[in-house]
Copies of this chain bind each other. A is one copy, B any other.
Amino acid sequence: MSTLGVSGGRVLRPDGSVTRADVLADRESGRILAVEEGVADGADERLDASGGIVIPGLVNAHSHVAMTLLRGYSDDKPLDRWLREDVWPVEGELGPEDVRAGTELGIAEMVRAGVTGVVDMYFHVDEVAAAVEAAGLRARLGYGVVTVGKDDECVESELERTREVAAEYDGAADGRIRTAVMPHSLTTVDAESLDRCVAAARDLDVPLHFHANETTDEVDPVVEERGIRPLEYADDLGMLTETDFLAHGVHVDDREIEVLADRGTAVVHCPASNMKLASGAAPVPAMREAGVRLGLGTDGAASNNDLDPFDELRDAATLAKHAAGDAAALPAEPAVAMATAGSADAAGLPGGRIAEGEAADLAVVDLEAPHTTPVHDPVSHLAYAVRGSDVRHTVCDGRILMRDRELRTLDEERVVERARRRAGEVAERAGE
């Protein structure tokens, strides 16, 4: 057995408490062996957590990682115009090597910010999988299907592709990669194709992941056409099981919240993207109260404009307060729980808890900078004061992805340089 020890710091425990403790992990199984003061003393490799706090590696439970290439490409437009006028046209220019470059850039950014797992919905998924495998984090990947407005042949090919990707990569990279069937949304995929997505997911035993109720533009047409709410429609199609998970859930009514709670389907809240696109505020306190499982996601960098999970955590905690008009609407501790165990569970990925037997996915966050001094309450700091740049080490599956702020599995300089060049070329092609 070869061990990794993280010593000298405090540890965020699954119950939300924080205690002085070391963490010992087995690098072969990628599991945590013990969490206790002194256990890291004889470890084969050591990470220093003094002055910091060991937290579960964060899971970004909804993203389109390669969209880092489009960071700042278009801003200040609502979702529909932003997609149709700017994002979709430029995405049409993205080749496989662009997706690889953008995904690696996003992974570099996320590992720097303590992310050890990500859910990615995109295309050229072979490239996404290769980037994830090389970088050493976990992911749940899928090909995002759109069928509306496409001819029959194209629809066939889209459905075939999402099924192929889900079949091919589930369990890849020593099990770090899992997959999902990913119909884009309830309004951009027709009913028959949604049906076939459900069949594929059940057949392959992987979840469904899709956008739902992000804007009223995704709700009103369903209500008009079918006389039921979108999540009732999804439920009728069998899209809401306890392994399936949806992104956004901004415009959900009480009946839909009840359905989500009853089916055990998780919702990935994306507050930064929702605010920036003026999509609305998901009713997080009401969903929590009803028992809906909740995680957090950054969405793509083109509508955020970063992939920092601490921004997302702070936005979740403060937007919930603002929207409810209640400063106690989402306190620090449940917000942090949503960002850790909540996101890992929503995505169906290991991790999210620092405890014996759990996956050795963790981040060490410095709490000694001016902006994190003093430390009256480290959980408050995680929610309200810490930013991605405070992460000192990132570990996934017992392997060090970042040590003392140096990436260990990616050549950062090369990644940044290549992304810069490709982004420029893509923007140039789109502008022609």
A interface residue numbers (CB < 8 A to B): 68-73, 75-79, 82, 105-106, 108-109, 112-113, 272, 274-278, 280-281, 301, 304-308, 311, 314-315, 317-319, 321-322, 324-329, 331-332, 368-371, 373-377, 380-381, 383-385, 387-389, 412, 415-416, 419-420, 423-424, 427
Contact = CB atoms under 8 A, between A and B. Distances in A.
Contacts of A109: 369-371
A319 B275 contact: yes
Nearest to A424: B374
Contact of A304 (B71, B384, B387): B384
Given A275-B322, A423-B376, A75 B370 contact: no
Contact of A416 (B68, B82, B370): B370
A328 B385 contact: no
A423 B276 contact: no
Number of copies: 2
A260 B181 CA distance: 55
Contacts of A412: 370
Given A109-B370, A306-B371, 6 more contacts: A76-B321, A76-B331, A79-B327, A105-B373, A373-B419, A374-B420
Contacts of A73: 376-377
A308 B368 contact: no
Given A105-B373, A307-B371, A385-B71, A327 B380 contact: no
Contact of A328 (B76, B373, B374): B76
A293 B384 CA distance: 29
B322 A384 contact: no
